[in-house]
Structure 1
């Protein structure tokens, strides 16, 4: 299924909303975004995996995914569904305090009828504004977005949120923003005031990966992007993605992708040439 909202975001939009109907549209692999995603189910049924947690949702429910959270969606065979998805960057959130509260209240929402109606109505207004090129359209969409977020935060139930989950989300966010820097279990435990043992256990529980595995995977994902999108040397890319040496970069890249960086670039260039032929 074509993700038009995702395409608009990739082309520079800061907020994008889309309504889609589908059937048997299942994601086999988890993915993440650099921005928030709100997934509102209008009809049918869907299941989501968010950081290895299984979440079934029904019409009127929604999930708020924070940046860099691994997730995927799927459903039973031949069950049609209709959903609205909203993508938005953090710089569109009105204030830092709202951003922090939003980050701490991500996850699954099962709303009462009134709250669900209010949220759905604002999403419909964002959809209607999606193709509007009139003056102040961007400002209007930002206003609608923040109205939506305030509506969500007012009906959130912080007592149901788990502090450890919030802290792990913050650590994941930190890794993605600082993958170029020197990162380790010791450094992260000191920065976030959590014991190494507790951090290791809770991080593994949330992500199914150790801290080192997650850091390496994040760095390799960024390296793959640089290999495809730039002409930089592999030595430059290894340095820019946080690896201490080219040898270490080659070893971790091969472990993650079953290819060396040079093999990966060669295959990508061949595919690119064939597509242009």
Structure 2
């Protein structure tokens, strides 16, 4: 039985799947809930676009090492390869709507307008919050997709209609992007802000030479203090975090490009291929070449140091 939660039609474990990722235009709408117990240890990424709409009171989203507090109705936009994770609070499970979608490159090439309406996914702050009127407009469009999925119709007609309705949603989101009122909340302490500045720097400079000493000097902090506080705030040693970030980028390149593995190794900041191969095996349990052949059954770095 469906219900209306913060303007969004919702039914637990209801999903809408249009095609497979390898079959062209792909959509996956997932109406479900998550609890504190399933919070991931580390961030992950996808090769597709993702929209996260929180229906519960509040949660947190970590994107490229930066934490964001989100409230009911906030829209989190995640472009492919963006490292992220949602942190749900303790207590009752949090309801949410997750939308994954992917358009083949040839489709985007022949429909250049999609590059425009996907621009909100490239904003520096990936969270969108609108006033009640604009939120209702966007919610109604998503509710049309939900209602379509409950009707009896041929699958090809359903696929076409969902694509049309969701395209309208993306267009309206693009049209309303300048009305975003989301403002990131302040960090808990100057220490947390400093550490998250460093994690953000790592995500943007992982291809360069990074070390405890160089980062401590750049951010005007002692090596001892950085080493100790970094693990206190993030749960990871600095070196472990740098390696995970580099491996994430290597995984994305292995899946989505045909670049030589040695070139990927260098582009991700590893000083030698033997080092890259050793660290990749440490985190993923397989060699880079084995991962490229079968990424589905391979793991992503989630364990703590």
Give the TM-score of the pair, scaled to structure 2: 0.56
Partner of 2:58: 45
Report the alpha carbon displacement of residue 126 of structure 1 after superposing the two structures with TM: 2.0
Report the alpha carbon displacement of residue 253 of structure 1 after superposing the two structures with TM: 2.0
CA change 1:244–1:111 in 2 (3 A) is closer
Q: Unaligned regions of 5+ residues in structure 2, if any?
A: 1-12, 183-196, 209-242, 299-305
SS, match of residue 43 in structure 1: coil
- Matches of 2:202 and 2:16 in 1, distance apart? 28
Give the TM-score of the pair, scaled to structure 1: 0.61
Report the alpha carbon displacement of residue 28 of structure 1 after superposing the two structures with TM: 1.8
1:211 maps to which of 207, 214, 224 = 207
**2:87 counterpart of 1:70:** no
The Cα offsets for residues 211-230 of structure 1, whole Å up to 9 and x where unpaired, read as 2476664235555x69xxxx
1:126 maps to which of 145, 157, 160 = 145
Contact 2:60 2:86 in 1 (8 A): yes
Partner of 1:261: 287
**2:26 counterpart of 1:14:** yes
Contact 1:31 1:70 in 2 (8 A): yes
Partner of 2:7: none
Partner of 1:110: 129
Report the alpha carbon displacement of residue 152 of structure 1 after superposing the two structures with TM: 1.1
- Matches of 1:116 and 1:52 in 2, distance apart? 27
Report the alpha carbon displacement of residue 34 of structure 1 after superposing the two structures with TM: 1.6
CA change 1:36–1:88 in 2 (3 A) is same
CA change 1:8–1:136 in 2 (3 A) is closer
What is the aligned-residue RMSD (CA, Å)? Answer: 4.2
SS, match of residue 121 in structure 1: helix
Structure with greater helix share of residues: 1
Q: Unaligned regions of 5+ residues in structure 1, if any?
A: 162-200, 227-236, 273-277
Contact 1:41 1:83 in 2 (8 A): yes
Report the alpha carbon displacement of residue 66 of structure 1 after superposing the two structures with TM: 1.2
- Matches of 2:27 and 2:205 in 1, distance apart? 31
